Amino acid sequence: MFTGLSAFPLTPITGTGLDTAAYARLVERLAAAGVDSIGALGSTGSYAYLTRDQRAEAAKIAVGAAAGTPVMVGIGALTTSEVLALAEDAQNAGAAAVLLAPVSYQPLTDDEVFGLYEDVTRELSVPLCVYDNPRTTHFQFSDELHGRIAGLPGVGSIKIPGVPAGAKARVDALRARIPDTVTIGISGDPFAAAGLAAGCDAWYSALAGTFPDAAQAIMRDPAESERLRPLWDLFARHGGIRVLAAAATHLGLTGDRVLPRPLRELDGPAREEVIATLAALSL
Amino acid sequence: MFTGLSAFPLTPITGTGLDTAAYARLVERLAAAGVDSIGALGSTGSYAYLTRDQRAEAAKIAVGAAAGTPVMVGIGALTTSEVLALAEDAQNAGAAAVLLAPVSYQPLTDDEVFGLYEDVTRELSVPLCVYDNPRTTHFQFSDELHGRIAGLPGVGSIKIPGVPAGAKARVDALRARIPDTVTIGISGDPFAAAGLAAGCDAWYSALAGTFPDAAQAIMRDPAESERLRPLWDLFARHGGIRVLAAAATHLGLTGDRVLPRPLRELDGPAREEVIATLAALSL
A264/B115 Cβ within 8 A:
yes
pLDDT digits over A205-244, tens only? 999 999 999 999 999 999 999 999 999 999 999 999 999 9
Whether A171 is covered by a domain: the verdict is yes
pLDDT digits over B122-180, tens only? 999 999 999 999 999 999 999 999 999 999 999 999 999 999 999 999 999 999 999 99
Domain interval for residue B90: 4-220
Say yes or no to pLDDT of B1 above 90. no
Nearest CB to A107 within list B111, B116, B239: B239
**B116 chain-A contacts, CB cut-off 8 A:** 261-262
Per DSSP, the residues of B94-141 read T-SEEEE----SSPPPHHHHHHHHHHHHTT-SS-EEEE--HHHH----
Which DSSP letter does residue A48 get?
G
Whether B277 is covered by a domain: the verdict is no
Whether A237 is covered by a domain: the verdict is no
**B49 chain-A contacts, CB cut-off 8 A:** 78-79, 105
Which pLDDT value is given to residue A1? Answer: 87
B78/A49 Cβ within 8 A:
yes
A113/B264 Cβ within 8 A:
no
B115/A43 Cβ within 8 A:
no
pLDDT digits over B189-220, tens only? 999 999 999 999 999 999 999 999 999 999 99
CA-based nearest residue in chain A for residue B52 = A51
Whether A208 is covered by a domain: the verdict is yes
Please identify every stretch of chain A with a pLDDT value under 70, giving residue numbers as ranges.
none
Q: In CATH, what number is assigned to the domain containing residue B35?
A: 3.20.20.70
Which pLDDT value is given to residue A250? Answer: 98
Nearest CB to B262 within list A80, A136, A138: A80
pLDDT digits over B261-282, tens only? 999 999 999 999 999 999 999 9
pLDDT digits over B24-50, tens only? 999 999 999 999 999 999 999 999 999
Query: Beta-carbon neighbour count of residue B257 at 10 Å?
Result: 17
- CA angle, residues A220, A161, A108, in degrees to nearest 5: 160
Which residues are CB-contacts of B269 (< 8 A; sequence separation ≥ 6)?
A: none
d(CA A179, CA A181): 5
Which pLDDT value is given to residue B194? Answer: 97
Task: Say how many domains are in chain A.
Answer: 1
Closest CA to A36 of A246, A200, A219, A170: A219
A116/B262 Cβ within 8 A:
yes
Whether B169 is covered by a domain: the verdict is yes
Whether B103 is covered by a domain: the verdict is yes
CA atoms within 13 A on the CB side of A58: 33
Whether B259 is covered by a domain: the verdict is no
ipTM over 0.90: yes
* Residues B62-83, mean pLDDT to the nearest whole number: 98
A79/B260 Cβ within 8 A:
yes
Query: In chain B, which residues touch A (CB < 8 A)?
Result: 43, 48-49, 78-81, 102-103, 105-109, 111-113, 115-116, 119, 135-136, 138, 239, 241, 260-264
Whether B152 is covered by a domain: the verdict is yes
Which pLDDT value is given to residue B179? Answer: 98
A261/B116 Cβ within 8 A:
yes
Beta-bridged to residue A100, according to DSSP, are A130
Which pLDDT value is given to residue B161? Answer: 97
